[in-house]
A and B are shown apart, each in its own frame.
Chain A
């Protein structure tokens, strides 16, 4: 998890950025739509990996915060058509939920933590399903507008076209990736890794373990909320399955595919997740079966995730939990 970027990586990232910016000009609407989904899952997975890869806490309930962000953004947009308000509202409300539920969840670790997060996630799912007057029940919230990006009296930009909204998603995702990178290489990130590697040693070193875990949990919730908030205007509809545990499995799978112990792992995993699925559904309705086989092969072939290949090529050894940094 080195903070340095090699010149070759910098060039590759610049090329990727250029490709992202040019995409709506050179590709059809479907690739644009697909890349937006990849970016949303990447942001969602980055937050998850802060908990899992960096802090050692496996959450099965991140979809709860994803849904809170999505529903909050949707409700705001349906009342006040202002994308700024919707996105900020989604992030803030998801963050508040994460702070409150995190305070209860981080009292435990290992399987107990995982089960608690699963329970809280499914509680949010039940609320989304049952509270028909507020959430629309099983039909969800329909007709969520891609409202203008607006600060009243200052500027107003229409993003109703999917290509325009794409740039909002790209900008927010890149910002989220940059902030997360700064976070994990800050003293906070190092403290979280210390907690992951040895809770006892970290406590003896003066780190307030539970407080740091709560911070990580809240940040992960904020990232899930941002991802959910970006989804609502994209799909125009939000339904309860976004809060289901199977949605929580998506960042887990993306992170495992890309690599837990690599900053870029969740991003690469999100891309792999969508690309593999998209290719398979073109050939068979039984895509889950084929997808499962490919995932098994990838996980067995790359136990450290696909990103481990690049580290090995650069002669680096992955930093595993408990190992001393070289």
Chain B
């Protein structure tokens, strides 16, 4: 064998070597070349960080599962698409991911409107979607519990956290009697405010709800909304604009002296990484005077468990960022899917759904328990006040108040909540 000829064998030998040395998935026990997961979220526009976090959570979960041998010996593949926060795009993506790319599972979606549009199509596509952000209560209460759409599974906590937890925290604040609302001008905002009022009234018949201002998506100037509600001299503000809009709202509230003239401000989803990044300087300067309260569907500094700490370390190493809640819920959805497929021994939709019954799984965000009546994974989530912790580069939620999931989730049979102003 001359030198030239032997060189030509090198690529072949390398290929053979790679075949035997790399993790192989030839033993896939569910009979597919790979388990494909189609992910989508808002990856453009003002809420794009949430879609990016869904993408980061998906990819990291895929890499970790594959490095550990896959699911029942099957490699996992992920394809992420931008739903542009539009229902039509979300539905088109779902159809493309399933009927063209061959996705076995779907995961993601930020907007409630997108989720509500995709959900009815899932039965036709015969696929489960793990919803990891969209917070509308109707997804699980109406579509699953009432209409029996079994392909819907939600891993993240719905609007209960934004509304019911707030009521549980502030029911004991006797100094606050007058509440006003600066709401996101769509269903999420209306339901949050209505559910908050309904819950708080049960504990505190003496409270008054004195003003409402509604800000549509893409609002840049919140000063008229702030002025309108402050004219009613509220003791506290309940606010639901989220992401960059929450940062803008809080900064303008500071400029207008709201934190000098009120006792508290509840910022739903204000504990998300993107909002905390945006207000870190203000927290450092104590400009909120300890009156700002916030929550998120998962926060990186809680729970204080090995799983969560290791998840944070791996995430920061992989992406040079902290995960927000949509990254954690999406990451966890992959491991829920993995456990369900392993139990079912199949990727067939109805068998995987059946396998989730009674599931109790530990994720970075804590223990999640599957509730069969509405296909909702329930778990504990804290709320607190943004503070500076030297262990983290941005503000984090401190002074945490944690409520058991059974206390702040709504339970079937569900009573109607008004989804109107």
Contact = CB atoms under 8 A, between A and B. Distances in A.
Interface of A: 28-31, 33, 37, 132-133, 137-140, 142-143, 162, 235-237, 239, 241-242, 278, 281, 285, 287-288
A63 B107 CA distance: 31
B326 to A, nearest CB: 16
B138 A237 contact: no
A143 B113 contact: no
Q: Nearest 5 CB-CB pairs, A to B?
A: A30-B100, A237-B117, A138-B186, A30-B99, A239-B87
Given A30-B99, A236-B120, A237-B91, A137 B187 contact: yes
A241 B87 contact: yes
A235 B117 contact: yes
B82 interface: yes
A132 B420 contact: yes
Interface in B159-203: 186-187
Contact of B119 (A29, A142, A242, A285): A142
Chain A contact residues: over half helix, strand or loop, or mixed?
Answer: helix
Interface in B92-124: 92, 95-96, 99-100, 112-113, 116-117, 119-121, 124
Contact of B120 (A132, A143, A162, A241): A143
A289 to B, nearest CB: 10
A310 B35 CA distance: 46
Nearest to A278: B96
13 contacts: A133-B420, A138-B186, A139-B186, A140-B113, A142-B120, A162-B124, A235-B88, A236-B121, A237-B116, A239-B88, A241-B88, A278-B96, A285-B82
Interface of B: 43-44, 80-82, 86-88, 91-92, 95-96, 99-100, 112-113, 116-117, 119-121, 124, 136, 138, 143, 147, 186-187, 419-421
B81 A140 contact: no
A30 B82 CA distance: 18
B215 to A, nearest CB: 13
A68 to B, nearest CB: 17
Contacts of A143: 120, 147
B187 A138 contact: yes
Contacts of A138: 112-113, 186-187
Contact of A241 (B43, B86, B136, B186): B86
A137 B186 contact: yes
A287 to B, nearest CB: 8
B53 to A, nearest CB: 14
Which of A33, A140, A143, A237 counts the most B-chain CB atoms under 10 A from its CB?
Answer: A237
Contacts of A241: 86-88
Contacts of B419: 132, 137, 139
Contacts of B92: 37
A203 B293 CA distance: 69
A237 B87 contact: yes
A140 B120 contact: no
Given A237-B116, A237-B117, A241-B86, A33 B44 contact: no
Given A33-B99, A236-B121, A237-B116, A139 B136 contact: yes
B95 A140 contact: no
A241 B420 CA distance: 19
A142 B80 contact: no
Contacts of B80: 285
Contacts of A235: 88, 91, 117, 121
A198 B44 CA distance: 45
A30 B95 contact: yes
Contact of A139 (B81, B138, B147): B138
Given A28-B99, A285-B81, A140 B116 contact: yes
A242 B88 contact: yes
Contacts of A285: 43-44, 80-82
A140 B87 contact: yes
Given A139-B116, A235-B91, 6 more contacts: A29-B99, A30-B95, A138-B112, A139-B112, A142-B116, A143-B147
Which of A132, A138, A287 counts the most B-chain CB atoms under 10 A from its CB?
Answer: A138
Nearest to A145: B120
Contacts of B119: 142
B134 to A, nearest CB: 11
Contacts of A236: 91, 117, 120-121, 124
A28 B138 contact: no
A288 B45 CA distance: 12
Nearest to B217: A138
A255 to B, nearest CB: 20
A242 B91 CA distance: 13
A162 B124 CA distance: 9
Nearest to A29: B99
A265 B80 CA distance: 34
Contacts of A133: 420
Nearest to A244: B86
A285 B83 CA distance: 9
A5 to B, nearest CB: 34
Contacts of B81: 281, 285
Contacts of A139: 112-113, 116, 136, 138, 186-187, 419
Contacts of A281: 81, 96
Nearest to B186: A138
Contacts of B136: 139
A281 B113 CA distance: 22
A239 B117 contact: yes
Contacts of A242: 88
A37 B91 CA distance: 12
A31 B81 CA distance: 18
Given A133-B420, A143-B120, A33 B95 contact: yes
A240 to B, nearest CB: 9
Contacts of B99: 28-30, 33
A133 B143 CA distance: 18
B209 to A, nearest CB: 20
Nearest to A142: B116
Contacts of A28: 99-100
A138 B136 CA distance: 12
Contacts of A37: 92
A237 B90 CA distance: 11
Contacts of A31: 100
A132 B112 CA distance: 15
A30 B186 CA distance: 32
Contacts of B88: 235, 239, 241-242
B108 to A, nearest CB: 13
Contacts of B147: 143
Nearest to B124: A162
A278 B44 CA distance: 17
